[in-house]
Amino acid sequence: MTLNTVKGFLDNIEGQELAKIVKKCSHLGPCLEIGTYCGKSALIIGAACKNSENIAFTIDHHTGSEEHQIGEEYHDSELYDENIASFNTLPEFLRNLRNSNLQNYVLPIVGKSKEISKHWKIPLGMVFIDGGHSRKAAFEDYENWHPHIHKGGFLLIHDVFPNPNDGGRPPYEIFCEAKKSKNFKEIALVNSLAILKKVKI
């Protein structure tokens, strides 16, 4: 299968940068993705982990963010599960993972990011935040997960738009919050993919 057939919102240039960061942080610990959708970025991370002898965890409740619900801008009727009366990306994600032969490198966790973070003990080489874009969801993901990043590791945030006319504000706001904390140094902003390096604990 090719990545172009996988539903998702990460463009090819962002995907290339994501893969580069995964390889750079492989010696520090596993990667973690928050917000998986159908797995486009997870497959990129997984392939890079395979090449660098690392693993990635993905966290998603798989019932869609606010913008994926019926009547919202990014609702996809093909992903609505009539059997459970809910948006449901999990079957599509697992199918894509299986077809890519990356099951040994991408370990899905189905649940809410906030609840999972309470029990997390593993230092991480990279955290990629691409979950809910409400202010509450974005800040919870940032505040609950950035402490788990190993010094020298990376924080990546998707859908960061400095110009408010280009997209929603919460991902950009947590990007600014990370820089303001002095714990992270901005490395690059590639299209809408923000890349920061953790420089302080």
Written as one letter, the residue type at 186 is E
**Per annotation, catalytic residue among 62, 133, 146, 158:** 133
Rounded distance between C-alpha atoms, residue 14 and residue 43, angstroms: 13
Residue 133: active-site member: yes
The DSSP output letter for 167 is S
Rounded distance between C-alpha atoms, residue 138 and residue 129, angstroms: 8
Tell me if 49 sits within 8 A of 143, measured CB to CB: no
Residue 71, judged by CB atoms within 10 A of its CB (0-12, 13-18, 19+), counts as exposed
Closest to 96 in 3D by CA, of 131, 139, 46, 50: 46
Rounded distance between C-alpha atoms, residue 70 and residue 186, angstroms: 36
Tell me if 14 sits within 8 A of 190, measured CB to CB: yes
CA torsion angle for 85, 89, 94, 95 (degrees, to 10)? 90
Q: Which residues are designated catalytic?
A: 133
